[in-house]
Amino acid sequence: MALILAFAVYMAETAHLNVKKLEATNRELEREIVGREQAEDALRHAQKMEAVGRLAGGVAHDFNNLLMIIRGQAALLQKNVGLGSTLRRELGEIVRAADQASSLTRKLLAFGRKQVLQPRVLDLNALITQVAEVLPPVLGEDIKLNMDLDPELGRVKADSAQLEQVIMSLVFNAREAMPRGGELTIQAANCDLDAAWSRFHPGVQAGPHVMLAVRDTGHGMDEETQSHLFEPFFTTKDKSKGSGLGLATVYGTVNQSGGCVKVSSKLGLGTTIQIYLPRVEEPVEVVQAPEPIVRSLQGEERILVVEDDDAVRRMTREFLTIKGYTVIEASNAADAIQFVESHDEIIDLVLTDVLMPGMKGRELVERLAKLRSSFKVLYMSAYTEDDAIDIGVLSPGTAFIEKPFSPDELAVKVREVLGENGASRSQQPRSHSTEA
Ligand SMILES: Nc1ncnc2c1ncn2[C@@H]1O[C@H](COP(=O)(O)OP(=O)(O)OP(=O)(O)O)[C@@H](O)[C@H]1O
Ligand SMILES: [Mg+2]
């Protein structure tokens, strides 16, 4: 009898243990399923953003070239009509509208990760401190600004002007979420992202990162708002207050820089937006600001313009010839090389598009450097392609002008690159074309 009882107890305990083991396995499986679902959601979301980004970037690119022509022709006409002409005011309206449109396309290109970045290794603490100096008047008296910067903060490689824009966008949003005042904290700290992170943030590599957070004590967001946060034109503000492009631009810029953005928010409790950027070991790169400009925007140097869009190229030539330059035009890199090979004339500056069908701007410059030793280079673009990010991302110190540009913006940039106006050349033809 005792034996039977002992056996029954043993069986009951074994069954109990098995149930426990099964429960544990079940919990493990449930966790695994939830994890996979979250990873799938993250992937689906990334794919959706990728598709919207491609659409926005593509439209913005084509639109930008058109804007360049509208804005440029209006600016040229403005120069040609007399000071008293009523046409001047109307042309001014066209230029202003084109400027607004190009600011919109710039944001769309940023969202589509197609803006041309000029990254350099930088000290994020210094950048944040610099931005923070201009914040008090932006925030007003009712918002208290707290800074929480790690003195041992690692360095990141990013485009400082774009990163400043990112911080300002987050600060503006935080301010607007605290209409009756509150606290805004800007925090920066080192952190290490593990493999689980890359699962939930496609495109992000595990490893050492720097985290920049902007935290507010504002009205916060519900789940629905959070799920649309980075979509372009998503806004809960009225038309005069928000275009819904702030966070879309933040998303694109941070992603194009190899990082990611994380949001945590609760209705009534405030919002924290965290930006993670890969930490780099290289020392901070200091870029010399160009010499302050020059008395005259005129010049007599010889400039080779390489641009595949006919209308944009013609207009660029026009901008340069009215300033006195001699212009040689090429509609692609091969024509430009052929011209340089078959002519002995001095070329002072190569002004080339970054991305062209066939050979890209940078490769063209490398090839030309083998043919001629002394020429300056100025890249122009508004756009880069995903698979050409290393082409779209220009090395520090590279001279670059963003399209669309005005005659004077181009003239200033060209003089910056060529240096003080001195070269004086004898009578030369004012323009050539490699197509001729
Ligand atoms: N810190 C925040 N607190 C509460 N809601 C926020 C915060 N940041 C963003 N949001 C919500 O996300 C929406 C989208 O923000 P986003 O910056 O992209 O556009 P916007 O601020 O509406 O317009 P824009 O930035 O173009 O002027 C906002 O309209 C707002 O509803
Ligand atoms: Mg905003």
The domain locations on the chain are: 2-111, 120-280, 302-435
Cis peptide before 404 (omega within 30 of 0): yes
Verify whether ligand 1 is closer than 6 Å to residue 247 (CB atom).
Answer: yes
Query: What's the confidence (pLDDT) of residue 384?
Result: 65
Decide: helix, strand or coil at residue 185.
strand
Closest ligand (CA of 215): 1
Cβ neighbors of 398 (< 8 A, separation 6 or more) are: 118, 377, 379
Q: Is the CB of 104 under 6 A from ligand 1?
A: no
Residues with CB under 5 A from ligand 2 (ion): 173, 246
Is the distance from CB of 354 to CB of 327 less than 8 angstroms?
Answer: no
* Cα 309 to Cα 69: distance, rounded to the nearest angstrom: 10
As given in the structure block, the two tokens for residue 119 are 């990254």
**Residue 210: CB within 6 Å of ligand 1?**
no
Same topology, domains 120-280 and 302-435? Answer is: no
Nearest-CA residue for ligand 1 atom 19 is: 244
Q: 36 burial class (0-12, 13-18, 19+ CB within 10 angstroms)? A: exposed
**What residue type is assigned to position 118 of the chain?**
Q
- 131-140 contacts, C-beta under 8 A, 24 or more apart: 131/164, 131/167, 131/168, 131/171, 132/186, 135/171, 138/171, 138/172, 138/175, 139/171, 139/175, 139/184, 140/175, 140/181
The residue contributing the CA closest to ligand 1 atom 9 is 173
Q: Given ligand 1 and candidates 186, 224, 247, which is best to mutate, with the most ligand atoms within 8 Å of its CB?
A: 247
Q: Is 168 in the pocket of ligand 1 (CB under 6 A)?
A: no
Tokens of 137: 């008047």
274 lines ligand 1 (CB under 6 A): no
Pocket test for ligand 1, best of 235, 265, 273, 274 (most atoms within 8 A of CB): 235
Provide CATH code, domain 302-435. Answer: 3.40.50.2300
C-alpha 339 chain-centroid distance:
34
Confirm or reject: Cβ of 217 under 6 Å from ligand 1: no
Q: How far apart (Å, rounded) are the C-alpha atoms in residues 336 and 314?
A: 15
Instruction: Please list the pLDDT of the chain residue by residue as tens digits (436 residues).
Output: 777 877 777 887 888 888 888 898 899 898 888 888 888 887 888 888 888 888 887 788 778 888 989 999 998 898 888 777 888 889 989 999 998 998 888 888 888 888 888 888 999 999 999 999 999 999 999 999 999 999 999 999 999 999 999 999 999 999 999 999 999 999 999 999 988 887 777 778 889 999 999 999 999 999 999 999 999 999 999 888 888 999 999 999 999 899 999 999 999 999 999 999 999 999 998 876 666 655 678 899 999 999 998 989 999 999 999 999 999 999 999 999 999 999 988 999 999 988 888 888 888 999 999 988 789 999 988 766 544 344 445 666 788 898 888 888 999 999 989 986 654 443 343 444 444 3
Q: How far is the CA of 372 from the centre of ligand 2 (A)?
A: 48
Q: Is 341 exposed, middle or buried (0-12, 13-18, 19+ CB in 10 A)?
A: exposed
Q: Kindly state if the Cβ of 232 falls inside 6 Å of ligand 1.
A: no
Q: Ligand 1 mean position to 173 CA, how many Å?
A: 5
d(CA 431, CA 428): 9
Its CATH class, for the domain covering 120-280, is alpha beta
Distance CA 388, CA 403 (A): 18
Task: Judge if the beta carbon of residue 244 lies within 6 A of ligand 1.
Answer: yes
Q: Rounded to whole angstroms, how far apart are CA atoms 379 and 395?
A: 11
Specify the residue with its C-alpha closest to ligand 1, atom 4: 220
Query: How far are the Cα atoms of 21, 338, 347, 431 from residue 435, in angstroms, in the given order?
Result: 79, 11, 17, 12
Q: Is 236 in the pocket of ligand 1 (CB under 6 A)?
A: yes
Residue of minimum CA distance from atom 12 in ligand 1? 229
Q: In 178-200, which positions are buried (b, 16+ CB within 10 angstroms) versus exposed (e)? A: beeebebbbbbbeeebeeebbbb
CB of 235 closer than 6 A to ligand 1? yes
Tokens of 316: 């660029």
Going from the C-alpha of 339 to that of each of 278, 306, 334, the distances in angstroms are: 43, 11, 9
Task: Map tokens 């083991």 to a residue.
Answer: 21
Distances in Å between the alpha carbon of 61 and those of 110, 118, 244, 342? 11, 19, 20, 34
